[in-house]
A and B are shown apart, each in its own frame.
Chain A
């Protein structure tokens, strides 16, 4: 009897863990699993997608939406067997996952919404990161661009001069309060910018004087900003050590409020957060500006990818097309504050509505982003929200992707990063 009881109570207590296992089959709808960064989509669109898909194909889908805190979390979840149908990682993580066989090559319709409307600039950026024996794979093989931006400096116009913001290295001898990122890759990036300052500026000069082509210049930038040689890591460690001491703090999300509240004067920011901070400060009557220093900066982008384990590739393709539609794009941009990878005339009109001025004194040619045609924006102010969202061609030419580091390099950089954290 006793053994029976024991068995029964073991069964009962195991039953308590049952809710942890998701139960499917309550309806005939296909479950479609999305994993995205937190706050990174207007969630009403998910319901609308269910309707849209049913209307188009007659099949019912049930969207299961999950979020992740960091890309490493997403990577681990998938590596340990979580199944999703579409995910939204960043540039370097797309490469890492694709190289490890965790993603399916995309099979989007060449005449579909995404391929017709994606910005040529985003397309060529995705195509620029290649690997494989004959470079047969690229980010474009595996990802459809979603949002993109740059890294730069937000500063209080009344206190800090814009001249000072032309160089990353001015942070090292700044008399102002500033924050840096409590994030390994971003902070390593500005460490590299300081270490290679002369080389980077020389490359820029050579390009501007016509001595080297744009491709050659960007190849140089890419090489400097992806360097992981031991000597360089050691030099960057020393640079970052002194930067940490000088800085007011290291943050990943309190900075955007600190600059608005006036706790700091310079804020090392992702462009979307920069727009948020400038908007908020404006309400308090404070003018903040955004600058991408001359040495060059980081261009990042997030894209939709289909994990190798997905069994709903068709729905995933439809979803990517759906979020690439002009209406979804505009709503997501309003909701998130970042810039979509999708171009097209409706988005151009949206930009004009937001930033255009009939007799604005500045003209910015966004042809690089929107493609052939007249995509000039006349505007009243530069160096603020508009410039953070849609940088000029001149700025974008000096921004490059930071690729993924292989295991050995990543371990070296992490070791360096922990040394800085601990000191």
Chain B
């Protein structure tokens, strides 16, 4: 049975295979379609179209805007929640945490429908389409912000905060110069988990805006569906990927900087 012994590295192989089959290969297809015409010849026509037709670029900015606002609100609501949760010591903590995670156990289309009913009840639905879209997005992505924040906050060594207190800092000062900087990695992973999906998850915008707000994900669907132009659809998808890549690079840089600060501390 000696031959069946695996080294630790070999354990990655199943994921490697998965990655190649379902991530790398489809990605290569997207790249292929983006740079070819309908007849299969190499062309940059589709990219020129994207940047000159006005519609796509405008929609990209709209979507980034919606993504940014959603992320901002998720952070503003999620941070205090994660902070308070991490400070609670009693047995209530696990129950409270459960309350925040529980919505994630329910299918999100169902949650969206329920939220739509509530918005109808209070009279917002059908009137303020952008507002409703943002409400829907925040409602849906909030747990994705809270969880990474919580898991970072709970790991911060209390002695840092105690030391700051002993040295005479008031609680605001302690938060701003100790807790907040130490939780940067949580903030960053929260942002990546909320910002990018909220630009493309068009089921939410369709449901909450009554089909009146279109985000970039919907645009891709239109070109792949009734538009029957996979090449142009792929261009939009590829440009989204580039944005994702740039965002990751930026956040990576940020987290490296905070890492060095942590080490300095």
Chain A interfacial positions (CB closer than 8 Å to B): 1-2, 4-6, 8-10, 12-14, 16-17, 70, 72-73, 75, 177, 179, 182-185, 244, 248-251, 254, 263, 407, 410-411, 414-415, 417-419, 421-422
Shortest CB–CB separation between residue A91 and chain B, in angstroms? 15
Shortest CB–CB separation between residue B129 and chain A, in angstroms? 8
Q: Is B62 an interface residue (CB 8 A)?
A: yes
Number of residues from B at the complex interface, CB < 8 A: 39
A residues near B2, Cβ cutoff 8 Å = 1
Q: In whole angstroms, what is the CA distance A177 to B209 when docked? A: 15
A residues near B189, Cβ cutoff 8 Å = none
Q: Which of B6, B14, B56, B212 contacts A16 (CB 8 A)?
A: B14
Shortest CB–CB separation between residue A392 and chain B, in angstroms? 32
Q: Which residue of A lies closest to B63 (CB)?
A: A422
B217-229 near A? 1/0 per residue, CB < 8 Å: 0110011111111
Query: Which of A184, A263, A422 has the most C-beta atoms of chain B within 10 angstroms of its own C-beta?
Result: A422
Q: Are B3 and A251 in contact (CB under 8 A)?
A: no
Known: A1-B3, A251-B211. 10 other contacts (CB 8 A): A5-B4, A9-B6, A72-B224, A75-B228, A263-B126, A410-B228, A414-B228, A418-B59, A422-B55, A422-B62
Q: In whole angstroms, what is the CA distance A244 to B213 when docked? A: 11
Q: Which residue of B lies closest to A261 (CB)?
A: B120
Known: A9-B13, A263-B120, A415-B55. A407 touches B38 (CB 8 A): yes
Q: Are B3 and A414 in contact (CB under 8 A)?
A: no
Shortest CB–CB separation between residue A21 and chain B, in angstroms? 13
B residues near A254, Cβ cutoff 8 Å = 207
Q: In whole angstroms, what is the CA distance A178 to B222 when docked? A: 23
> What are the 7 tightest A-B residue pairs by CB atom distance, in nearest-first order?
A249-B210, A250-B211, A414-B227, A13-B14, A421-B214, A13-B17, A182-B211
Q: Are A418 and B222 in contact (CB under 8 A)?
A: yes
Q: Is B118 an interface residue (CB 8 A)?
A: no
Q: Are B229 and A250 in contact (CB under 8 A)?
A: no
Q: Is B166 an interface residue (CB 8 A)?
A: no
Q: In whole angstroms, what is the CA distance A421 to B223 when docked? A: 12
Q: Which positions 2-22 of chain B face chain A at CB distance < 8 Å?
A: 2-7, 10, 13-14, 16-18, 21
B residues near A5, Cβ cutoff 8 Å = 3-7, 10
Main secondary structure on chain B at its contact with chain A? helix
A residues near B126, Cβ cutoff 8 Å = 177, 248-249, 263
Q: Which residue of A lies closest to B21 (CB)?
A: A17
Q: Are B59 and A422 in contact (CB under 8 A)?
A: yes
Q: In whole angstroms, what is the CA distance A8 to B6 when docked? A: 10
Q: Which of B120, B210, B219 contacts A421 (CB 8 A)?
A: B219
B residues near A417, Cβ cutoff 8 Å = 222, 226-227
Q: Are B219 and A422 in contact (CB under 8 A)?
A: yes
8 A-B residue pairs with Cβ-Cβ distance under 8 Å, sorted by A, are A1-B3, A2-B7, A4-B3, A9-B13, A13-B17, A16-B14, A249-B210, A411-B227
Known: A244-B212, A421-B218. A410 touches B4 (CB 8 A): no
Q: In whole angstroms, what is the CA distance A298 to B206 when docked? A: 25
Q: Is B53 an interface residue (CB 8 A)?
A: yes
Query: Which of B2, B38, B229 has the most C-beta atoms of chain A within 10 angstroms of its own C-beta?
Result: B229
Query: Which of B5, B16, B53, B226 has the most C-beta atoms of chain A within 10 angstroms of its own C-beta?
Result: B226
Q: Is B256 an interface residue (CB 8 A)?
A: no
B residues near A177, Cβ cutoff 8 Å = 126
Q: Is B173 an interface residue (CB 8 A)?
A: no
Known: A263-B120, A407-B228. A418 touches B13 (CB 8 A): no
Q: Is B58 an interface residue (CB 8 A)?
A: yes
Shortest CB–CB separation between residue A174 and chain B, in angstroms? 15
Shortest CB–CB separation between residue B205 and chain A, in angstroms? 11
Q: In whole angstroms, what is the CA distance A421 to B227 when docked? A: 13
Q: Which residue of B lies closest to A179 (CB)?
A: B210
Q: Are A250 and B210 in contact (CB under 8 A)?
A: yes
A residues near B53, Cβ cutoff 8 Å = 415
Q: Are B212 and A250 in contact (CB under 8 A)?
A: yes
Q: Are A422 and B226 in contact (CB under 8 A)?
A: no
B residues near A73, Cβ cutoff 8 Å = 225
Q: In whole angstroms, what is the CA distance A184 to B223 when docked? A: 11
B residues near A415, Cβ cutoff 8 Å = 53, 55
Q: Are A248 and B6 in contact (CB under 8 A)?
A: no
Q: Are B211 and A6 in contact (CB under 8 A)?
A: no
Q: Which residue of B lies closest to A248 (CB)?
A: B126
Q: Which of B4, B13, B56, B209 contacts A13 (CB 8 A)?
A: B13
Q: Which residue of A lies closest to B227 (CB)?
A: A414
Q: Which residue of B lies closest to A414 (CB)?
A: B227
B residues near A183, Cβ cutoff 8 Å = 226
B residues near A70, Cβ cutoff 8 Å = 225-226
Known: A14-B17, A421-B214. A414 touches B62 (CB 8 A): no
Q: Which of A249, A407, A422 contacts B214 (CB 8 A)?
A: A422
Q: Which positions 68-91 of chain B face chain A at CB distance < 8 Å?
A: none
Query: Which of B4, B222, B228 has the most C-beta atoms of chain A within 10 angstroms of its own C-beta?
Result: B228
Q: Which positions 40-62 of chain B face chain A at CB distance < 8 Å?
A: 53, 55-56, 58-59, 62
